Chain A
Amino acid sequence: FPEMAGAEGEDSLYPIAVLIDELRNEDVQLRLNSIKKLSTIALALGVERTRTELIPFLTDTIYDEDEVLLALAEQLGNFTMLVGGPEYVHCLLPPLESLATVEETVVRDKAVESLRKISQEHSPVDLEVHFEPLVKRLASGDWFTSRTSACGLFSVCYPRVSNTVKAEIRQHFRTLCSDETPMVRRAAASKLGEFAKVLELDYVKSDIIPLFTALASDEQDSVRLLAVEACVSIATLLPQEDLETLVMSTLRQAAEDKSWRVRYMVADKFSELQKAVGPEITKNDLVPAFQNLLKDCEAEVRAAAANKVKEFCENLPEDSRETLIMSHVLPCVKELVSDTNQHVKSALASVIMGLSTILGKDNTVEHLLPLFLVQLKDECPEVRLNIISNLDCVNEVIGIRQLSQSLLPAIVELAEDAKWRVRLAIIEYMPLLAGQLGVEFFDEKLNSLCMAWLVDHVYAIREAATCNLMKLVEKFGAEWAQNTIVPKVLGMSNDPNYLHRMTTLFCIKALSEACGQEITTKHMLPVVLKMSNDQVANVRFNVAKCLQKIGPVIDSNALQAEVKPVLEKLATDQDMDVKYFAQEAISVLALA
């Protein structure tokens, strides 16, 4: 670029000029950067020119890529001060209105979010003069995209407008609930609960309930299932005595809907529904409904319901909780333990342990323990894993010892599973198990597994095993480490396989801090230094990296006397990488 001659005092102009020009650059990334700095541009232009020039330009810029439009929609939500404050905030409506009609859902949603935000900055008068007409225009737009956007705006303007306008808004919402396109009905159904919350109770009963009933029996599955969500908010708003007549028949119908997707939604929202309808209806209606969902013919529904078992039981009214669980829920749970579908079993396994705290020691031993034991032997590793990962709940109630005899074979089997992801998952539970089972049990049964993982053929497993050792040492202490694992780790430094020799280095890196200065300097350091003569370059540069890491733990005499000469030698290695890492270690440890 030529110099900006004579640009003193105007040196701020140039960068802004670039930003403005880049609003229409061919490179999307540059346009995006420019849009993200829209506030800088607006600030430079001043409020007047922002309103009269920039905003009109942006209003027509809806041809751009989604990511640019998304950024624009977001920016405009924070633009009030830049157009001159709340007095002028309505200037932002045209660009957001056009963004609210684009086909890309994320952009529309962001535009609606920004519109909701700036609606709060409108004065009550401006809201009726500018904002509400926009909502009406969107609500009666030709394209479904504008009508769906309108659905999200009713609830923000309703509380702040006159009664006449309120009546109009309710009418618009009613119309959209029976729109011919399923997309709009879905949008309306998903905002039904939110809209109900801002309505006066009488209108909830007279307007919302008929709409809710209609949407809940829509011909499209995708609309009906959204009505379930609305059911939660609506039920929360109504007084208990009205629930039965206004909501329950619709909810019962949804729980038995022909479409599994609707039943799935009921199962998925069960805890929320339970809280919304209160204890009496839960006892009479929801318990049988829950039983049916647990026995549903579609596995997806059973799995969703199984996921809710613990939460549902927890939220049952205290006076009858135990009876209800024992007589109604537990029989279904017992069946699910041997379900044909593994997703169902694994969903159950992830929550079933939580029942023990609710049912107490005796029931757990008598009724739940047998189920845990069956699940610990399940053919699907996921199920076993989910049981093991939730052991802490049982531990609190009956102690883990009750389980240890079955636990061990299950752990061993998972530890040797053919799928490395399964092995990885069980490794992650090792520190937890070790803590609960105690050091003796661990040394006797599990220690060898932990060492075997160090030589696994998958790197991710070896890496996790290294990290696992560190956590074990943190739990059991340095002395335990010195006696049990350090000798084994150091022994691997003579392994013919260089990958195993590197594992030694990785372990030392991970353990040094937990083991402390003495063990590190006395036992580990000599091995590391010896390995600097390894014939494999990868091992040598890992020696350098390892020394850099453990340097701060080693006492300073050893650092100067032993580490420094080795690193200096490695810094003259013929391998480039070895040299590089040695030099890096020297400079980090300040040995130069």
Chain B
Amino acid sequence: MLSPVLCSELSALEPEYTEADVISAVEFSQSGEFLATGDKGGRVVIFQREPQGEYNVYSTFQSHEPEFDYLKSLEIEEKINKIRWLPQLNSAHFLLTTNDKTIKLWKVSERDKRPEGYNLKDEEGRMKDISKITSLQVPVLRPMDLLVEASLRRVFANAHAYHINSISINSDCETYLSADDLRINLWNLDITDRSFNIVDLKPENMEELSEVITVAEFHPHHCHLMAFSSSTGTTRLCDMRSRALCDQHAKLFEEAVDPANRSFFSEIISSVSDVKFSHSGRYLLTRDYLSAKVWDLNMENKPIETYQVHDYLRSKLCTLYESDCIFDKFECAWNGTDSVIMTGAYNNFFRMFDRASRRDVTLEASREVCKRRAVLRPRRVCVGRKKRESDVSVDSLDFRKKILHTAWHPTDNIIAIAASNNLYIFQDRHSHHGHHAGHRLEQDRPPQLQDVPPQ
């Protein structure tokens, strides 16, 4: 696994940050050369990996603005809910961003030439004496400093009555899906004025509503497969070949709940907050409130692996319910070789699980611990009395500091962790020497910190 070393820490300059600075989406591009974050203020920041491995800001743009729906008297937040990169088409880069209602396609491109030479004025815009113009001049392009431009290419709007929670690009590179609480729509990337509804869970009578869609994703290789999860803890796999409308699933992944463990919170905590297909396409990773589960697509009745993320919270569910924390939506991620999974927790902790060795680690992403050139020190949460000085007791966990959004580089051992307004990028300290697949978990190495780049 990783001995994560901080390689970039990027945050708002002022220690005091506003709600708008809170990061709400993190996503690596297909090659991993770029990383995009979206925040509650509707901004998107794109980082580019330097040859030395650090990620630096490449482009920043305002993707969404706050809006008001006058027909429904609803405010539409500018918060970026999801970002998805398109496979690279040409020298430019494309990404989809979405807030609750509107999906946008952005192009990020470079320009290194600009035209020079006017007939009627000079470069400063002063008019020339027209009487002296005796011949025509064609402008010429001259090199200039590299300019990165983000331009809005398409707006996919007015297709969702509820809040969009997911977007996912199909492996055919022609279509993508967008999911809200009750419906999933299929779009062509070139066509903005219509989309096709492929799943509709809306009952005739809204009082009969029993579940909502929480997340949806396309299979990485099979263009006809799509998975979506719901608030009842189930994940459905749909085959788009068999029907135009995928109301009937091909497979339903659901684990029977032990009746002995049933409580008022059972359903809430079983709601699936994220689904990710493994890179191989064979497995599904789901995250619910307390655990992460790996499912084999060939086995529907139970997961092949279950990882407890923070089981110690079981006794705290009442408090978490009162503070609404129980509805937090934690994301999860696979590493490039599908051997390790990662997901966030509270107190700025995030967790990694090595599937082969079954070892796990808790790490903290916060300014206090992330020092230069140091391997992150594993943290432990203890229930009851502390066994070690560095242990953290359950009662002292800060539930306001949560890591909801994490992303893993598609091939290398580089991870991006969003902790409120801060983005931490760690990389395996070994990966300077090349790509190390499936590293063992190295829990007891002494910390070493890399330089934090100047901001």
Contacts and interface: CB of A to CB of B under 8 A. Distances in A.
Interface of A: 1-7, 10, 13-14, 16-18, 20-21, 23-24, 44-45, 49, 53-54, 56-57, 60-61, 63, 101-103, 105, 143-146, 181-183, 186, 219-222, 257-261, 297-300
Given A17-B133, A44-B136, A63-B111, A145 B90 contact: yes
B125 to A, nearest CB: 11
Given A6-B131, A24-B139, A145-B89, A260 B190 contact: no
B242 interface: yes
Interface string B169-198: 001111000000000000000100000000
Contacts of B172: 182, 220-222
A143 B94 CA distance: 14
A144 B173 CA distance: 11
B90 A23 contact: no
Interface stretch (B34-42, B115-123, B330-338): B115-123
B113 A60 contact: yes
B113 A20 contact: no
B138 A222 contact: no
A53 B221 CA distance: 47
Q: Is the interface of B mostly helix, strand, loop or mixed?
A: loop
Given A258-B241, A299-B244, A21 B119 contact: yes
B243 interface: yes
B260 interface: no
Nearest to A222: B172
Given A1-B130, A17-B133, A181-B173, A298 B88 contact: no
B139 A260 contact: no
B281 to A, nearest CB: 12
A259 B241 CA distance: 4
B107 interface: yes
Contact of A57 (B111, B140, B174, B223): B140
Interface in B123-155: 127, 129-131, 133-141
5 contacts: A13-B136, A57-B138, A60-B113, A143-B91, A221-B224
A366 to B, nearest CB: 36
Given A145-B89, A299-B244, A103 B107 contact: yes
Contact of B242 (A24, A181, A260): A260
A24 B115 contact: yes
A45 B92 contact: no
A20 B136 CA distance: 8
B222 interface: yes
Contact of A258 (B87, B111, B221, B242): B242
Contact of A298 (B134, B140, B243): B243
Contact of B118 (A21, A145, A220): A21
A54 B140 CA distance: 9
A181 B190 contact: no
A57 B141 contact: yes
Given A17-B119, A23-B139, A222-B174, A297 B243 contact: yes
Contact of B241 (A13, A182, A260): A260
Nearest to B107: A103
A144 B89 contact: yes
A446 to B, nearest CB: 37
B224 A259 contact: yes
Nearest to B88: A143
Contacts of B87: 181
B237 to A, nearest CB: 15
Contacts of A2: 127, 129-130
Contacts of A300: 244
Interface string B52-88: 0000000000000000000000000000000000011
A53 B138 contact: yes
A221 B225 CA distance: 11
Given A57-B115, A261-B241, A10 B174 contact: no
A5 B173 CA distance: 59
A172 B325 CA distance: 58
Contacts of A7: 130-131
A297 B138 contact: no
B243 A260 contact: yes
Contacts of B134: 10, 13
A317 B379 CA distance: 80
A105 to B, nearest CB: 6
B241 A45 contact: no
Nearest to B115: A24
Nearest to B113: A60
A398 B352 CA distance: 78
Contacts of B89: 103, 143-145, 183
A5 B139 contact: no
A11 B241 CA distance: 66
- Closest CB pairs A-B (n = 9): A17-B119, A259-B241, A53-B138, A143-B90, A5-B131, A60-B141, A145-B90, A222-B172, A24-B115
Given A21-B118, A297-B243, A13 B133 contact: yes
B226 to A, nearest CB: 13
Output the residue of A2, A5, A17 with the most chain B CB within 10 A.
Answer: A17
B426 to A, nearest CB: 31
Contacts of A10: 133-134
Contacts of A5: 130-131
A222 B90 contact: no
A21 to B, nearest CB: 5
B114 to A, nearest CB: 9
Contacts of B221: 219
B173 A101 contact: no
Given A20-B139, A24-B139, A101-B90, A221 B113 contact: no
A221 B172 CA distance: 8
Nearest to B243: A298
Given A2-B130, A57-B139, A103-B107, A298 B90 contact: no
A91 B43 CA distance: 44
Given A57-B139, A221-B241, A17 B224 contact: no
A180 to B, nearest CB: 10
Contacts of B129: 2
Contacts of A17: 119-120, 133, 136
A10 B174 CA distance: 53
A292 to B, nearest CB: 15
B138 A49 contact: yes
Contacts of A298: 242-244
A267 to B, nearest CB: 13
A443 to B, nearest CB: 45
Contacts of A18: 119-120
Contact of A103 (B94, B171, B244): B94
B196 to A, nearest CB: 10
B243 A103 contact: no
Contacts of A103: 89-90, 92, 94, 107
A101 B92 CA distance: 11
A179 to B, nearest CB: 12
A54 B136 CA distance: 11
B280 to A, nearest CB: 15
Output the residue of B91, B109, B190 with the most chain A CB within 10 A.
Answer: B91
A543 B174 CA distance: 57
Contacts of B222: 219
Given A20-B139, A143-B90, A297 B242 contact: yes
A143 B171 CA distance: 17
A448 B179 CA distance: 50
Given A14-B130, A222-B174, A45 B136 contact: yes
Contacts of B91: 143
Nearest to A53: B138
Contacts of B171: 182, 220
Given A14-B133, A221-B172, A261-B241, 7 more contacts: A5-B131, A13-B133, A17-B136, A23-B115, A63-B109, A143-B91, A299-B244
B92 A183 contact: no
